[in-house]
């Protein structure tokens, strides 16, 4: 006879514990001035694929901005990658912290701009 059948209360418990993963990836661009001259607005170069948080990622660098509105800006985007380094259709979330080039020239602590990105698909 089970405890439940005997009229006793059966209690169970479980826990799911998740800790955030922190990974850094340094994107070094040698020949940036050359890229600005060669790539047009909306064109990008990809970083190598790197792993963080159990997923594969890549950075996309738009040296002349991603669109006409942002042609005077540098665009850096975090993209979830599937096996083989191809773009993924799966859901993915990430945070990117980008240093403002204008602030980098000044003395003191650089100003960072944060952006939480959600990539969805399917």
Low-confidence ranges of the chain (pLDDT < 70): 1-5, 83-122
DSSP three-state, residue 48: coil
- Buried-state track 76-102, b at ≥16 Cβ within 10 A, e below 16: bbbbbbeeeeeebeeebebebeeeeee
| 84 Rama class: left (phi>0) / alpha (psi -120 to 50) / beta | left
pLDDT digits (tens, 9 = 90+) for 12-28: 888 888 877 778 888 88
| pTM listed for this prediction | 0.58
> Could you state, in order of their start, the residue ranges of all structural domains in the chain?
32-119
- 32-119 belongs to CATH 1.10.3720.10: no
């Amino acid at each position: 006879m089970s405890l439940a059948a005997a009229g006793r209360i059966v209690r169970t418990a479980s826990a799911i514990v998740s800790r955030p993963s922190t990974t850094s990836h340094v994107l070094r661009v040698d020949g940036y001035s050359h890229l600005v001259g060669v790539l047009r607005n909306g064109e990008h170069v990809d970083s190598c694929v790197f792993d963080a948080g159990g997923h594969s990622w890549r950075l996309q660098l738009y040296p002349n901005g991603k669109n006409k509105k942002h042609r005077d800006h540098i665009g850096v985007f975090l993209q979830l990658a599937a096996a083989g380094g191809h773009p993924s259709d799966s859901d993915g979330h990430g945070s990117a912290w980008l240093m403002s080039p204008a602030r980098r020239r000044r003395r003191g602590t650089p100003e960072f701009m944060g952006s939480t990105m959600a990539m969805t698909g399917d």
